[in-house]
Amino acid sequence: MRARKLKHRDERLLACDNIITDEFSSDPPSLVPAELFPDYSKFRLEIGCGKGGFVRGEAISHPDTAYIAVELITDVIVQAAERTPKEEYKNVVFLNTNASRLDRIFPAGSFERIHINFCDPWPKKRNAKRRLTCRTFLSLFRPLLSDGGCIAFKTDNADLFEYSLPEFEAAGYRTEKVTRDLHSSEYYGCDTETEYEKAFSEKGTPICRLEAYPSR
Ligand X SMILES: C[S@@+](CC[C@H](N)C(=O)[O-])C[C@H]1O[C@@H](n2cnc3c(N)ncnc32)[C@H](O)[C@@H]1O
- Ranges within 192-211 binding ligand X (CB under 6 A): 194-197
**Least separation, in Å, of the C-beta of 9 and ligand X?**
15
Which one from 17, 120, 159, 181 is the annotated catalytic residue?
Answer: 120
How far apart (Å, rounded) are the C-alpha atoms in residues 187 and 167? 22
How far apart (Å, rounded) are the C-alpha atoms in residues 181 and 201? 10
159 annotated active-site: no
Confirm or reject binding of residue 75 to ligand X (CB under 6 A): no
Confirm or reject binding of residue 167 to ligand X (CB under 6 A): no
Cα 116 to chain centroid, rounded: 4
DSSP string, 127-170: GGGGSTTSHHHHHHHGGGEEEEEEEEEEES-HHHHHHHHHHHHH
Confirm or reject binding of residue 28 to ligand X (CB under 6 A): no
How far apart (Å, rounded) are the C-alpha atoms in residues 58 and 114? 12
Confirm or reject binding of residue 6 to ligand X (CB under 6 A): no
Confirm or reject binding of residue 20 to ligand X (CB under 6 A): no
Stretch that binds ligand X, among 14-22, 48-56, 141-149, 158-166 (CB under 6 A): 48-56
How far apart (Å, rounded) are the C-alpha atoms in residues 188 and 45? 21
Residue ranges binding ligand X (CB under 6 A): 47-50, 70-73, 76, 98-100, 117-120, 194-197
Q: Which residues are catalytic?
A: 120
